[in-house]
Structure 1
Amino acid sequence: MDDSETLVRRATEAFNSGKPDEAQRLCEQGLARLPGDPVLHHLLAAVLFSRNAVAPAHAHIDVSLAKRPANAAARLLAARIARSEGNFDVALAHIDSAIAISPQREFFVEKARTLDQAGLRAQARESWRAILNVIPGHQEAAARLGRLAWEDGDPATAASLLAQAAAPGAPASVWFDLAVARQDLRDHAGAASAYRKAFELRPDHAEAALNLGIAMQEGGDVDAAMRAFAQAYRLRPQLFGSIAMALTSASHGRLWLDEDGLRRALAS
Structure 2
Amino acid sequence: MVAPLPALPQGFLFRRRSESGKLSCVTHARSVRARQHSDQRRRAFCFLVASLVITFAVAAFAGLNATISLAASYFPNLSQTHLAEGKAFLNRGDVAEAIAEFRAAIRLQPDHAEAYYNLGYALGRQGDLDGAIAAYAEAVHLRPHDPAYADVYANLAHALGQKGDLDGAIAAWKEVVRLHPGDTEASANLQLALRKRGDLDRVVVAWQEAIRLQPGESLAYAGLATTLTEKGDLDGAIAAWRHSVRLNENDALAQLNLGVALGQKGDLDGEIAAYREAIRLKPNDPDFAEAYFDLAYALAQKGEVEEAIAAWRKAIRLNPTAGSERKRLGLARTAQGSLERAIAAWQARIRVDPADAFAHFKLGIALGQKGDVAGEIAAYREAIRLRPHDPNLAEVYHQLGKALAHQGAWRDAIETYQALARVKPDDPRIKHSLGDAHRVLGLTLLEKGELSQAIEQLGMTLRFDPANEEAKRALASALLTERTQRR
Query: 1:156 aligned to 235, 238, 241, which one?
Result: 235
What fraction of aligned residue pairs are identical, expressed as a percent?
A: 16
Whichever residue aligns with residue 94 of structure 1, its letter is A
For residues 176 and 6 of structure 1, do their structure 2 counterparts lie closer, same or farther at Cα, with a shift above 3 Å needed? farther
Cα deviation, residue 126, structure 1: 0.7
- 1:33 — aligned with what? 104
- 1:213 — aligned with what? 296
Whichever residue aligns with residue 83 of structure 1, its letter is G
- 2:272 — aligned with what? 189
Q: Distance in 2 between matches of 1:262 and 1:95?
A: 45
Give the paired residue count. Answer: 256
Report the 3-state secondary structure (helix = DSSP H, G, I; strand = E; otherwise coil) of the residue aligned with 2:141: coil
CA contact (8 A) 1:191 1:212 kept: no
What are the residue-to-residue correspondences of 1:12-161 with 2, within 5 Å?
21=92, 27-28=98-99, 30-31=101-102, 33-34=104-105, 36=107, 38-46=113-121, 53=125, 55-66=127-138, 69-72=141-144, 73=149, 74-96=152-174, 103-105=179-181, 106=183, 109=187, 110-161=189-240
Provide structure 1 residue ranges, at least 5 long, that are not aligned to the other structure. none
Whichever residue aligns with residue 77 of structure 1, its letter is N
CA contact (8 A) 2:121 2:132 kept: no
Q: Distance in 1 between matches of 2:84 and 2:249?
A: 34
Q: Distance in 1 between matches of 2:284 and 2:100?
A: 42
Q: Distance in 2 between matches of 1:139 and 1:220?
A: 34
Q: Distance in 2 between matches of 1:224 and 1:115?
A: 42
Task: Please state if 1:203 is matched with 2:279.
Answer: no
- 2:350 — aligned with what? 263
For residues 133 and 256 of structure 1, do their structure 2 counterparts lie closer, same or farther at Cα, with a shift above 3 Å needed? closer
Q: Distance in 1 between matches of 2:161 and 2:345?
A: 51
- Aligned CA RMSD, in angstroms, stands at 4.6
Which protein is bigger by CA-based radius of gyration? 2
Tell me the TM-score normalised to structure 2 length.
Answer: 0.42
Cα deviation, residue 211, structure 1: 1.6
Provide structure 2 residue ranges, at least 5 long, that are not aligned to the other structure. 1-76, 356-487
Tell me the TM-score normalised to structure 1 length.
Answer: 0.68
Q: Distance in 1 between matches of 2:235 and 2:141?
A: 45
Q: Distance in 1 between matches of 2:198 and 2:116?
A: 32
CA contact (8 A) 1:142 1:164 kept: yes
Cα deviation, residue 128, structure 1: 0.8
Cα deviation, residue 171, structure 1: 7.6
Relative contact order, higher structure (CA 8 A, sep 6+): 1
Report the 3-state secondary structure (helix = DSSP H, G, I; strand = E; otherwise coil) of the residue aligned with 2:128: helix
Task: Please state if 1:178 is matched with 2:252.
Answer: no
Report the 3-state secondary structure (helix = DSSP H, G, I; strand = E; otherwise coil) of the residue aligned with 1:34: helix
CA contact (8 A) 1:45 1:58 kept: no
Q: Distance in 1 between matches of 2:117 and 2:80?
A: 13
Deviations 1:22-50 (A, max 9, x none): 5958844632633555423312434676x
Cα deviation, residue 220, structure 1: 5.5
For residues 198 and 207 of structure 1, do their structure 2 counterparts lie closer, same or farther at Cα, with a shift above 3 Å needed? farther
Report the 3-state secondary structure (helix = DSSP H, G, I; strand = E; otherwise coil) of the residue aligned with 2:286: coil
Q: Distance in 2 between matches of 1:171 and 1:28?
A: 44
